Amino acid sequence: MRWIKRLIERRDLWLDTAIAAAFTVVAVLLGGEPEPGADWQAQDGLGIALTCLVNAPLALRRRAPLTVFAVSGSAWALFITLGYWPVVNSMGPFFALYTVASLRPLRPAVVCTVLVGAVWMYAGWRAGQATPAVLAQAAVFPAVGCRAGVAAQVSARRADRLAELAEQLRREQRDRMRHAVAEEQRRIARELHDVVAHHMSVINVQGGLASYVFDSEPETARAALRTINETSQEGLGELRRMLTLLRTGPEDGTDPEGLRPADAGATPYAPMPGLSRLGEMVERVRAAGVPVDLRTEGTPRSLAPGVELCAYRVVQEALTNVIKHARPADAVVVVAYGPRELTVTVTDDGRRERPLPANVPPSSGHGLIGMRERARLYGGTVDVGPRADGGFRVCLTLPTAVRTAGK
């Protein structure tokens, strides 16, 4: 594989070598039969050697364009001086001129253009052509070659600049995605902090109750201890997820202003929303002009607060996207309770989009990132994409533990 890689890396050299060989072969074949009626001699051994000297250096035209032009042009002038047909080797110097114009600044390109024009005038003078025709050919042909080279150089620079801008754009997009993930992780961590604080408050209350009735009402104390055990397990699970999240996030800093969820309100420790509040959300979305059908499948049960919060946020983001991008589409929210998983599906029928209301801010474009980060935090997945019959579909799947009655 190494030699294949070397061939690929040197493809320009091999291409230029093939061009030089092709020019040489064509010039040798044409030189054997000079222009009929003209006083030019057929190529002999010296003419073939000069032909090779004119065209062979083109194999190195990208590495040393000015040197290649000087060698090729000088050999072409000598070829004409010795009485050989100039047209035979005219393509080599013209191609060398094009290379200089495409790889070097304008000043040396103009000098090379003038030199090629001078040699062409010399060839016309040797052939006895009329002066106006000779001047026209000497001016037009080299100028065209120079202009083509300059245009190629401008195109190459433009392509390089576009490649740089594309790479810069990719870097900025990666930075924005990393920043968006970090912002979402901070927000989730704050919400999980509230959930853990809730668990600790319950443990504190139940611990005080158990201590107070430990001797007088042993059964009540046992129930309180069971509640403490269950709540502490849930709290430890939430805390473990939060620490995992913070380890994978950036290590710089504090929670800047504005990272609180949009519906958290002014109270920093308001209860976190769960599946029981989906009905309120659906009503708000309906008031915004999007018909929403909320369905429940399976037997509803109490889930870990963090799981319910994750499902609530994903539904919120999905319905917000429907409002912003698919109005007045109809949406359907299906909450399915499985034995060991919770599946939440939000679909819309993808009607034609109409102008966004003035009071709805534009989307930040990071909603999908937030959905996936939340699902990943709880070991779940999010499947997002267009539906086969039109519209869009968001499907969240979260693993849940089996909870017995009374918990």
Yes or no: say if 176 and 194 are a contact pair by the CB < 8 Å rule: no
CB atoms inside a 10 Å sphere around CB 241: 20
Task: Copy the structure tokens of residue 76.
Answer: 């072409």
Paired with 393 in beta bridges are: 347, 385
CB atoms inside a 10 Å sphere around CB 131: 10
Of 377, 378, 397, nearest in space to 248 by CA: 377
> What one-letter code names the amino acid at 47?
G
Query: On the CB side of 132, how many CA atoms lie within 13 Å of its CA?
Result: 0
What span, in angstroms and rounded, lies between the C-alpha atoms of 67 and 72?
8
More confident site: 178 or 406:
178
Yes or no: say if 246 and 189 are a contact pair by the CB < 8 Å rule: yes
Q: Taking residues 105-110, what's their average pLDDT?
A: 91
Q: What is the structure's pLDDT at 359?
A: 40
Tell me the per-residue pLDDT of 201-222, one tens digit each, with 9 for 90 and over: 667 767 777 787 787 888 888 8
For the chain, the structural domain boundaries read 2-129, 275-399
The domain 275-399 is placed in CATH, from the list 3.40.50.300, 3.40.50.1970, 3.30.565.10, 3.40.50.1370, at 3.30.565.10
The answer to whether residue 394 scores a pLDDT higher than 90 is yes
The answer to whether residue 126 scores a pLDDT higher than 90 is no
Question: Sorting pLDDT into bands at 50, 70 and 90, what band is 257?
Answer: very low
Question: Sorting pLDDT into bands at 50, 70 and 90, what band is 49?
Answer: very high
Yes or no: say if 339 and 302 are a contact pair by the CB < 8 Å rule: no
Yes or no: say if 335 and 275 are a contact pair by the CB < 8 Å rule: yes
Q: What is the structure's pLDDT at 248?
A: 55
Q: Taking residues 356-383, what's their average pLDDT?
A: 66
Question: Sorting pLDDT into bands at 50, 70 and 90, what band is 36?
Answer: low
Q: What is the structure's pLDDT at 217?
A: 84
The answer to whether residue 170 scores a pLDDT higher than 60 is yes
Which H or E run includes 393?
A: strand 392-399
Question: Sorting pLDDT into bands at 50, 70 and 90, what band is 193?
Answer: low
Tell me the per-residue pLDDT of 66-85, one tens digit each, with 9 for 90 and over: 999 999 999 999 998 988 88
The answer to whether residue 43 scores a pLDDT higher than 80 is yes
Q: What is the structure's pLDDT at 361?
A: 38
What size, in residues, is the chain?
Answer: 407
Paired with 347 in beta bridges are: 332, 393
More confident site: 193 or 55:
55
What span, in angstroms and rounded, lies between the C-alpha atoms of 86 and 124?
9
Tell me the per-residue pLDDT of 4-27, one tens digit each, with 9 for 90 and over: 566 555 677 888 889 999 999 988
What span, in angstroms and rounded, lies between the C-alpha atoms of 306 and 65?
68
**What is the DSSP code string of 73-135?**
HHHHHHHHHTTB-GGGGSHHHHHHHHHHHHHS-HHHHHHHHHHHHHHHHHHHHHHT--HHHHH
| Cis amide linkage into residue 328, ω under 30° from 0 | yes
Q: What is the structure's pLDDT at 376?
A: 85
Question: Sorting pLDDT into bands at 50, 70 and 90, what band is 2?
Answer: low
Is the full-model pTM beyond 0.85?
A: no
pLDDT above 70 covers what percent of the chain? 77
The answer to whether residue 379 scores a pLDDT higher than 80 is yes
Q: What is the structure's pLDDT at 99?
A: 92
